[in-house]
Structure 1
Amino acid sequence: MLSETLTTELERYRIGPRIRALRKKKKLGLVQLSEHTGLSPAMLSKIERGQLFPTLPTLVRIALVFGVDLGHFFNKEGPRIAVTRRGERVRLPIPAGDARPSYFLESLDYPLAERRMEAFLADFPSDAVASAPHQHGAQEFVYVLSGTLRVDVDGEQTTLGEGDAIAFDSDATHSYQRDGTDSCRAIVVTLT
């Protein structure tokens, strides 16, 4: 039995409807496709209706009949969209395993494959310590939703309040520290 998350991810590829479209284009019935693939018509029908997800060997059999490669079933058509529901996000402590993490991150765009940016909701608890200095690539953008955040970029400290934002080259060493006594919450976007 597949988890709801795996099922949702697999449904996004619309493999069943792609198989049905190929079958209709070749003017094949389910029985005829069954004869070519060695798969039962009932199984093929369930795959086409999205009630069953094919294994890779099964998908290869189908692909061979239609003369397409596996990429045909995994290339997305149309706009790439990622919806991340509040209850589906995973909250990760940074650094992982620390008794008092500096902050918690929740990915806001993890379902989007091959993304060029990463967006996070960052929570800085009231008892959080400063994060370790780090660097990671191209650029970063931070927008403070609530509280006060101190951002240190290459030794230069900037204090941000609610509604303030900062953008910087994230190949420079940087760190974060909640400022004041209240917790802080921010949106952090990094370019990959």
Structure 2
Amino acid sequence: MSVSRVSPVSSGRCSSSTRPVMRWSSRPSRTRPSCSRSKTVNAYDNEASVGTPTGDGALDQDFLSQVGSRIRALRTIRTLTVQQLADRSQISRRLLTQIELGQANPSLVTVTRIARELGTEFTNLLGDSAADAPVVVHPQADHTLVWSSQAGSSAHLLIATAESRSADLWLWHLAPGDTYRGQADPTRSQELFYVLAGTLTITVDDQEVVVPTGASCRLRSDRLYAYVNGGDQPVDFVRTVVLAA
């Protein structure tokens, strides 16, 4: 005679209030499935962080419209579908469509990634008809407003290299109390600064570095960082971005 054992029988509901009924059974006990439901993970769950405005301001709408049109044109020339370019750029199809229509506010890191998948740099998306000339002069009217905030801060792209290794020259104005939060650039990228007026504070790796007027600075920008103006006077500085290949 086999030894029977006691197994609980419930109504099938996962409730602690259900009182089990005990009975003798000679059948081996079976493991009941858990009542917890598995969560489906979306590959683009972090899309919001990719597509949100950089810092406390936003990318300029004219800049976004121009870049979006250029991305769509280059994608068409390279016979890529929206889905193909989105997959290569590690963003969703919906976000890429919005970028091409000038209806999204992505980070510069996202725009750079899309541009590189198209075989170019994000600054080249703005167009430069004299890129092959030995000397190229951009008058003040040609400087591109890329980022601004309601506090009155702004970032203008002055000029960029036309080579595959991208280097960009920027002029920044950071209003008192304002902050710009940047996303990590490609590995081994760097930024160079020269402060024209005011005192700039750069935060990186949980450190704060103060850069006074007349001082220069080099930042490894392949990590999260921020520019902060904690004073009561505006900060003006020149920034050069050298993105790693």
Q: Normalized against structure 1, the TM-score is what?
A: 0.51
Number of the residue aligned with 2:223 = 172
Please report the RMSD computed on the Cα atoms of aligned residues, expressed in angstroms.
Answer: 2.4
In the TM superposition, residue 135 of structure 1 has moved relative to its aligned partner by 1.6
Which residue of the partner structure matches residue 140 of structure 2?
Answer: 86
CA distance in 2 between partners of 1:154 and 1:168 (Å): 11
Q: Matches of 1:104 and 1:187 in 2, distance apart?
A: 12
Q: Corresponding residue for 1:136?
A: 185
Aligned partners of 2:147 and 2:156 also within 8 Å: no
Q: 2:173 aligns with which of 123, 129, 135?
A: 123
Distance change >3 Å, CA 75–CA 89, structure 1 → 2:
closer
Structure 1 residue 131 displacement after superposition? 1.8
Residues 18-97 of structure 1 mapped to structure 2, 5 A cutoff: 76=132, 79=134, 81-94=135-148
Please, which of 136, 150, 155 is the counterpart of residue 99 of structure 1? Answer: 150
Equivalent pairs, count:
111
Question: Is the 2:131–2:162 Cα contact (8 Å) retained in structure 1?
Answer: no
Is 2:204 the counterpart of 1:150?
Answer: no
**TM-score between both structures, scaled by the size of structure 2:** 0.41
Larger Rg: 2
In structure 2, C-alpha distance between the alignment counterparts of 1:133 and 1:92, rounded to whole Å: 13
Q: CA 1:113–1:158 in structure 2 vs 1: closer, same or farther (change >3 Å)?
A: same
CA, structure 1 residues 75+155, in 2 after alignment: closer, same or farther (shift >3 Å)? closer
Q: CA deviation at 1:149?
A: 0.7
Name segments (4+ residues, structure 1) moved above 2 Å: 90-94, 98-101, 112-116
Deviations 1:2-58 (A, max 9, x none): xxxxxxxxxxxxxxxxxxxxxxxxxxxxxxxxxxxxxxxxxxxxxxxxxxxxxxxxx
Q: Which has the higher helix share?
A: 1
Match of 1:162 among 203, 213, 216: 213
Structure 1 position 130, deviation (Å): 1.7
What letter corresponds to residue 117 of structure 1 in structure 2?
A
